[in-house]
Amino acid sequence: MKIAVLMRAVPDPVEELELDGADLDRDFLGYVLNEFDDHALEEGLLLKEESGGTLTAFALGSADEVEQMLHTAIAKGADTAQKLGDDLDPVDAHAQAATFVSAIGDGGYDLILSGVQASDEIDGQVAMLVAASLGLPHVSVVVGTTIGDGSLRVTKEYWAGITADYDVVLPAVLGIQTAREAPRYVAVARIRQAQESGALEEVEIDQPENSSGVTITGMRLPEAGEGAEMIDGDEGAAAGRVLEILQAAGVR
Amino acid sequence: MSNDILVFVEHLNGEVTDATYELLATARTLAAQTGGSVEAAVIGAGATGLAASLGGADRVLVADTDALGAFNPQGHAAVFSGLVASREPALVLVPYTSVGMEIGNQVAVANSLPLVSYCLSVDASTGLSATCQLYSGKVEADVVVDGERAVFAMLAGAASADDGRSGGAAVAEDVDVTIPDLAVSFVGIAEPEGGDVDITAGEVLVAIGRGIESEDNIEEAQELADALGAPLAASRPIIDQGWLPKTRQVGKSGLTVKPKVYLALGISGAPEHLEGMRDSATIIAVNSDPQAPIFGVAHYGWVGDLFDFIPELTERLDG
């Protein structure tokens, strides 16, 4: 099985965000691998191991952290990785999808995996935009796969823990929510090895152009703690107040 | 093109989902702005029987076919895309759910329409614009859409489902269904299995999120939960890491809980999580990020380090 995994760098979800006009203030923003893409990589690696196939990881060079992300993917078991462009300005999901589609080209991939969503995809989900533009079948919100006879059995989560199984004839695109196993850990020494392996290819591309027809004109941070009583003081004061609240609610 | 609003009807096990009724409520407001009517497209085996429950629409397009016995990401998208092409509605509404996500992207690309995701509200009074939630609910963005037509994927809670349920009887219209050769086939559905602990039964729930940082720290949260006699629940990242079983998950893909007190520790409050706990009687949130959206639904909040807070509260409860 020949597998492609599409990975995105997204603003670190634990960081406090600041705004600059109609965008985030990106000057000091840290980026991490989109957590769902991490699961897509893990599911891809499991399938590669089971099928004796190959896996290539792709990412747009839109943040300094991207090289490290791709080296980590190689250290975990990706055969090759492609960094598409360097020092690119962030672009919408349509432009990302179009860039991935050009990079995948006619590479003959049986399976294209990416995370089910990313926190900045205002104009659609990259995995499914790729599927639609390649005219490939797709299943999204995938929480596990099993290799079948001539097809792939895919478990899709609906909601509230309800899941459905589908048989998918390859080639196909999957939007992964959760890999069937937690993303594997990889030692720093292995990542260093990957850096020296030459498995990361840097592909020169022009800055992609937004093409979704959706333009952000303004951004706001929702009013923090609107309506909430914010507790002042240190952890002792907080614990004391919480105990009072528990007592008032009659659960203590 | 028409001035109409076309709603994708999501249904499971013979029932129309609340997400669909919310779309119908939103569509009614939008139809008043465009001067058009509300159409609802219901696709799949048994669709005819569902038309009667879609009085919130003016017209129900019924694509009843045994060939689509259950939701099929490829088949339903193809049929709905065809309806968008032939009816040419101004606006298309899909829910931002597991089902709607597959439909929205496919339909937008097939019909060369812009797609706006994570929508909290849509306005069609002058041009098309929307307010959307980005970065896991940390940012609200105003967007404008080029052109006069677009697909909008609406977040849960954007309108009241009850408002979409009201209304008389819609006119039902059977539509021709052409289904392409399908590379995706439905095998079966599975309901969740019961777990060791029922988190929906607790009067108090201690819930942990990404802020717990590592599996080793779960023990400390468990001690607090034990001191309270409460089950330990979690948001999705914790479950996905395999640190707690799926039965402990609160939110869209997990369980909906309504305890007397919900203590959220290190949970930022992504929309998918809020969907599963916002109706708790009292919500207390502890988070190091003062901008965390969880404080938007909490009744009480403390900004600080949860590893300072947890032992302090555990000690007071034990003491």
Contact between A125 and B105 using a beta-carbon 8 Å cutoff: yes
Contact between B139 and A223 using a beta-carbon 8 Å cutoff: no
pLDDT, position B196: 76
Q: Using CB atoms, which residue from B101, B145, B263 is nearest to A128?
A: B101
Give the list of residues 6+ apart from residue A19 with CB closer than 8 angstroms, or none.
A25, A219, A220, A221, B139
* pLDDT average, residue stretch A201-219: 96
Q: How far apart are CA A109 and CA A214, in angstroms?
A: 30
* R_g of chain A, CA atoms, integer Å: 21
Q: Quick check: B37 and B124 in contact, CB under 8 A?
A: no
Whether the ipTM is more than 0.90: the answer is yes
Closest CA to B9 of B177, B133, B190, B165: B165
The H-or-E segment that residue B93 falls in is strand B91-95
Kindly state the tokens that stand for B121: 């509200």
Q: How far apart are CA A241 and CA B16, in angstroms?
A: 44
Q: How far apart are CA A159 and CA B194, in angstroms?
A: 15
Per-residue pLDDT of chain B (319 residues; tens, 9 = 90+): 999 999 999 999 899 999 999 999 999 999 999 999 999 999 999 999 999 999 999 999 999 999 999 999 999 999 999 999 999 999 999 999 999 999 999 999 999 999 999 999 999 999 999 999 999 999 999 999 999 999 999 999 899 999 999 778 889 999 999 999 999 999 999 988 777 788 998 899 999 999 999 999 999 999 999 999 999 999 999 999 999 999 999 999 899 999 999 999 999 999 999 999 999 999 999 999 988 999 999 999 999 999 999 999 999 998 7
Q: Using CB atoms, which residue from A161, A164, A221 is nearest to B70?
A: A164
pLDDT, position A114: 98
Residues of B in contact with A129 (CB under 8 A): 105, 109
Give the residue from chain A lying closest to B155, CA to CA.
A122
Give the residue from chain B lying closest to A117, CA to CA.
B101
The H-or-E segment that residue B273 falls in is helix B271-274
pLDDT digits (tens, 9 = 90+) for B37-62: 999 999 999 999 999 999 999 999 99
Residues of A in contact with B99 (CB under 8 A): 158
The answer to whether residue A224 scores a pLDDT higher than 90 is no
Give the model's confidence band at A13: pLDDT under 50 very low, under 70 low, under 90 confident, else very high.
confident
The H-or-E segment that residue B74 falls in is helix B73-87
Q: How far apart are CA B234 and CA B205, in angstroms?
A: 10
pTM for the structure as a whole: 0.94
Contact between B73 and A218 using a beta-carbon 8 Å cutoff: no
Pairing type for strands A152-157 and A138-147 reads antiparallel
pLDDT digits (tens, 9 = 90+) for A71-130: 999 999 999 999 999 999 999 999 999 999 999 998 999 999 999 999 999 999 999 999
Q: How far apart are CA B16 and CA B24, in angstroms?
A: 11
* pLDDT average, residue stretch A165-172: 97
Closest CA to B188 of B13, B2, B9, B7: B13
Which residue stretches of chain A are H helix? 35-51, 66-76, 93-104, 126-134, 188-197, 235-248
Contact between B146 and A120 using a beta-carbon 8 Å cutoff: no
pLDDT, position A149: 85
Q: Quick check: A143 and A178 in contact, CB under 8 A?
A: yes
Residues of A in contact with B147 (CB under 8 A): 213
Give the list of residues 6+ apart from residue A185 with CB closer than 8 angstroms, or none.
none
* pLDDT average, residue stretch A60-71: 96
Residues of A in contact with B290 (CB under 8 A): 16, 224-225
User: Which domains occur in chain B, in start order?
Assistant: 5-174 (3.40.50.620), 204-318 (3.40.50.1220)
Q: Using CB atoms, which residue from A121, A161, A175 is nearest to B246?
A: A161
Residues of A in contact with B135 (CB under 8 A): 11, 13, 17, 24, 119-120
Q: Quick check: B64 and B46 in contact, CB under 8 A?
A: yes
Q: Is B96 exposed, middle or buried (0-12, 13-18, 19+ CB in 10 A)?
A: buried
Q: How far apart are CA B27 and CA B147, in angstroms?
A: 19
* pLDDT average, residue stretch A58-73: 96
A86 at interface of B, judged by CB pairs closer than 8 A: no
Contact between A160 and B299 using a beta-carbon 8 Å cutoff: no
Residues of A in contact with B72 (CB under 8 A): 166
Q: Which residue has the tokens 């909601």?
A: A159
Residues of A in contact with B132 (CB under 8 A): 122
Q: Which one-letter amino acid corresponds to residue A23?
A: D
A135 at interface of B, judged by CB pairs closer than 8 A: no
Q: Quick check: B116 and B155 in contact, CB under 8 A?
A: no
A221 at interface of B, judged by CB pairs closer than 8 A: yes
Q: Quick check: B303 and B287 in contact, CB under 8 A?
A: yes
Q: How far apart are CA B50 and CA B60, in angstroms?
A: 9
Chain B interface mutation, best of A37, A167, A170, A251, highest count of B Cβ atoms under 10 Å: A251
> CA geometry: angle at B266 spanning B263 and B270, to 5°?
90
Q: If you average pLDDT over every residue of chain A, what do you get? A: 95
Give the residue from chain B lying closest to A219, CA to CA.
B141
Kindly state the tokens that stand for A248: 């008032």
How far is the alpha carbon of A70 from chain B, nearest alpha carbon, in Å? 21
Q: Which residue has the tokens 């949860």?
A: B306
Residue A118: strand, helix, or coil: coil
A249 at interface of B, judged by CB pairs closer than 8 A: yes
Query: Across-strand partners of B43?
Result: B63
Closest CA to A238 of B230, B277, B279, B315: B315
A187 at interface of B, judged by CB pairs closer than 8 A: no
How far is the alpha carbon of A156 from chain B, nearest alpha carbon, in Å? 8
Q: How far apart are CA B20 and CA B163, in angstroms?
A: 11
Give the residue from chain A lying closest to B190, CA to CA.
A163
Q: State the count of interchain CB pairs (< 8 A) between A and B.
A: 283
Contact between A229 and B140 using a beta-carbon 8 Å cutoff: no
pLDDT, position A225: 66
Chain B interface mutation, best of A166, A180, A230, highest count of B Cβ atoms under 10 Å: A166
**Residue B233, φ and ψ in degrees, nearest 5:** -115, 180
Q: Using CB atoms, which residue from B109, B191, B285 is nearest to A132?
A: B109
